[in-house]
């Protein structure tokens, strides 16, 4: 097929993508460094007023149950810790980074509704599993980010992909592979490389459709199940949404019973509403 893409085609277009604010790149790159000067970073973030406002609204949401209202980034770091604050800044930055439009058929809002809901669900799941909740939240938010790469860089081809999906009522992932030759997992991995995401995040993005692959890691299993739950709860409100097949290995690895799932559904819905009010406003 003439318009089939390769992984290299995707990598070549990454430079044309809107870049994240410099300070967010710096935060992402510093994920494994211990000697980061937090006060300098906090100051840099606070120069970006829109970013600061969104971050503080997230920090003050009931998600974190703070007893005081934080009013500066530095304060958020004091109360929530550096890791959590960094993740909130990333979430606030990434959701505003990709432009809407240009790709007929692609529902930008529904995309972010799904991503935010998955982030909320993954965070609740992670707490249940005593796994790092910040990693789970960010990985949930970014798990499908490759889709935005494809939509932004190849809008016409992606539009065909969506048309193919509608025609065949198949999974969007399969439509991507058939029409484009690359899928959003490949594109997500390419972007994760380009934006210097940590290994944990890369594994989760790369493994969220195939958590059974060797080395996929536990976070991939969490994101995989969270993704399916969010489809099942219909939180993105996409007309022809489909629940993907749930990996029995991932489901068993979490090992939760029905009572916990029902509680988790309720919590996910509540948190989703609150976060989406901040991030999609």
Partner 1 sequence: MTSNYHQLTLAEVRPGMVLSDVLLDVQGHVLLPQGTTLTEAMLALMPRHGIAVLPILKEEVSPETAQATLEHHEARIAHLFRKNDPDSDSDWATALLRRFVSDFRLGPQEAAEHE
Site residues for partner 1 per CB under 8 A: 62, 65, 169, 171, 228-229, 231-234, 241-243, 245-248, 250-252, 258, 261-263, 265-267, 270, 273-274
Residue 67 C-beta: closest distance to partner 1, Å:
8
Measured distance CA(166)–CA(170) in Å, rounded:
7
List the structure tokens of 36. 């980061």
**Identity of the residue, 31 or 228, whose beta carbon is nearer to partner 1 in the bound complex:** 228
CA angle 109, 153, 2 (to 5 degrees): 120
Residue 70 C-beta: closest distance to partner 1, Å:
15
**Identity of the residue, 14 or 256, whose beta carbon is nearer to partner 1 in the bound complex:** 256
Q: Token match 């979490």: residue?
A: 254
**Identity of the residue, 139 or 235, whose beta carbon is nearer to partner 1 in the bound complex:** 235
List the structure tokens of 172. 């969007």
Measured distance CA(192)–CA(41) in Å, rounded:
22
Residue 144 C-beta: closest distance to partner 1, Å:
17
Q: In 130-257, which residue ranges form alpha helices assigned H by DSSP?
A: 133-142, 145-153, 155-168, 172-179, 184-194, 199-207, 218-233, 248-254
**Identity of the residue, 12 or 266, whose beta carbon is nearer to partner 1 in the bound complex:** 266
Torsion angle of C-alpha atoms 107, 110, 111, 113, degrees rounded to 10: 160
Residue 57 C-beta: closest distance to partner 1, Å:
13
Residue 259 C-beta: closest distance to partner 1, Å:
10
**Identity of the residue, 95 or 247, whose beta carbon is nearer to partner 1 in the bound complex:** 247
């Amino acid at each position: 097929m003439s318009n089939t893409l390769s992984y290299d085609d995707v990598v070549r277009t990454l430079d044309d993508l809107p870049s994240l604010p410099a300070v967010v790149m710096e935060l992402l790159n510093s994920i494994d460094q211990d000697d980061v000067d937090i006060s300098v970073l906090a100051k840099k973030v606070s120069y970006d007023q829109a970013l600061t406002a969104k971050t503080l609204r997230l920090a003050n949401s009931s998600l974190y149950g703070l007893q005081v209202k934080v009013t500066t980034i530095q304060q958020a770091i004091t109360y929530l810790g550096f890791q959590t604050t960094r993740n909130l800044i990333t979430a606030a930055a990434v959701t505003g980074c990709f432009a809407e439009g240009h790709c007929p058929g692609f529902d930008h809002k529904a995309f972010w509704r799904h991503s935010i809901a998955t982030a909320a669900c993954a965070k609740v799941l992670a707490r249940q599993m005593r796994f790092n909740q910040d990693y789970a939240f960010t990985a949930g938010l970014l798990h499908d980010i490759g889709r935005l790469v494809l939509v932004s860089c190849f809008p016409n081809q992606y539009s065909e992909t969506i048309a193919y999906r509608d025609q065949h009522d198949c999974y969007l992932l399969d439509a991507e592979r058939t029409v484009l030759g690359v899928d959003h997992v490949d594109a997500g991995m390419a972007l994760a490389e380009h934006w210097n995401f940590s290994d944990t995040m890369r594994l989760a993005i790369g493994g969220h459709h195939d958590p059974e692959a060797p080395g996929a890691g536990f976070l991939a299993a969490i994101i995989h199940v969270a993704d399916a739950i969010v489809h099942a709860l219909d939180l993105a409100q996409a007309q022809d949404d489909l629940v993907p097949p749930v990996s029995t290995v991932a489901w068993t690895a979490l090992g939760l019973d029905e009572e916990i799932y029902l509680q988790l559904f309720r919590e996910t819905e509540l948190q989703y509403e609150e976060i989406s009010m901040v991030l999609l406003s």
